[in-house]
């Protein structure tokens, strides 16, 4: 648990990391629950393999906050009226 964080990754896995970042950015842009949850699933899988990737741990914060906000919207009376 106390291993050092890593900020640079070997060239053979950097494309996978860049692709995950693109998925996260697209999910935030799309701003929908399915997109956010799909990004979280991929992020979870990445962090299981790379728990030393602090930048990706950081990327989880806006996803989680946005998921909460979208869930709150879904359960609000205004959403129920417009759905």
For other proteins, the binding residues (CB under 8 A) are 1-2, 5, 7, 21, 24-25, 28-29, 31, 40, 43-44, 47-48, 51-52, 54-70, 72-73, 76
Cβ proximity to other proteins, 3 vs 12, nearer residue: 3
Q: Are 37 and 43 in contact (CB under 8 A)?
A: no
Q: In whole angstroms, what is the distance from residue 38 CA to residue 43 CA?
A: 9
Q: In whole angstroms, what is the distance from residue 63 CA to residue 36 CA?
A: 6
Kindly state the smallest distance separating residue 12's Cβ from other proteins, in Å.
19
Cβ proximity to other proteins, 2 vs 12, nearer residue: 2
């Amino acid at each position: 648990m106390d291993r050092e964080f890593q900020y640079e990754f070997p060239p053979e896995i950097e494309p996978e990391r860049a692709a995950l970042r693109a998925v996260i950015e697209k999910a935030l842009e799309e701003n929908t629950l399915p997109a956010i949850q799909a990004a979280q699933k991929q992020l979870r899988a990445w962090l299981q393999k790379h728990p030393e990737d602090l930048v990706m741990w950081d990327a989880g914060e806006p996803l989680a906050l946005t998921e909460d906000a979208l869930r709150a919207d879904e359960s609000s009376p205004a959403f129920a009226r417009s759905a």
